[in-house]
């Protein structure tokens, strides 16, 4: 695993027993943080249903750590996402992403303003 610190960038190797860990890369990262290196920093919000924050480069492919399975008996290389500014370790600066997200406004918008105290029927069946 490559993790970054402005004072001391480095590659670090960890050995995980997959029989004592979940099958996904995120499971391994959590195990490393909980049992081997409590200072390791990375993002994940998958358990809250917010996918994308756990994205990393896994074996030279960008992907989500919560959806990428570790194959037993193989080495898995985890590095930073390319073309992203790094804050620390495996945490990248998401400012540009959030600005783009906000500019696209990918959420539902009401045509008429909400009348306070009145029931709103979202879908008629």
Taking Cα atoms as reference points, which of 12, 14, 18, 29 lies closest to residue 65?
A: 29
DSSP H or E stretch at residue 64? strand 61-64
Q: What is the pTM of this model?
A: 0.73
Question: Is residue 112 situated within a structural domain?
Answer: no
pLDDT tier at 94, thresholds 50, 70, 90: confident
Question: Is residue 100 situated within a structural domain?
Answer: yes
pLDDT tier at 25, thresholds 50, 70, 90: very high
Question: Is residue 122 situated within a structural domain?
Answer: no
Q: Which two tokens stand for residue 24?
A: 């996904």
Mean pLDDT taken over the chain: 85
Question: Is residue 124 situated within a structural domain?
Answer: no
CATH number of the domain enclosing 49: 3.10.20.30
pLDDT tier at 26, thresholds 50, 70, 90: very high
Q: Which two tokens stand for residue 114?
A: 């909400």
């Amino acid at each position: 695993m490559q993790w970054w610190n402005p004072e001391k960038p480095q590659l670090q190797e960890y050995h995980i027993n997959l029989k004592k860990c979940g099958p996904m890369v995120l499971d391994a990262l959590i195990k490393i943080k909980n049992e081997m290196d409590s200072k390791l920093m990375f993002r994940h919000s998958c358990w809250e249903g917010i996918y994308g924050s756990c994205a990393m480069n896994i074996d030279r492919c960008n992907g989500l750590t919560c959806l990428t399975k570790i194959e037993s008996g193989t080495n898995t290389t985890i590095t930073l996402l390319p073309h992203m500014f790094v804050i620390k370790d495996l945490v990248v600066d998401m400012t540009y992403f959030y600005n783009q997200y906000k500019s696209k406004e990918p959420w539902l918008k009401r045509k008429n303003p909400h009348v306070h105290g009145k029931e709103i029927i979202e879908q008629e069946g």
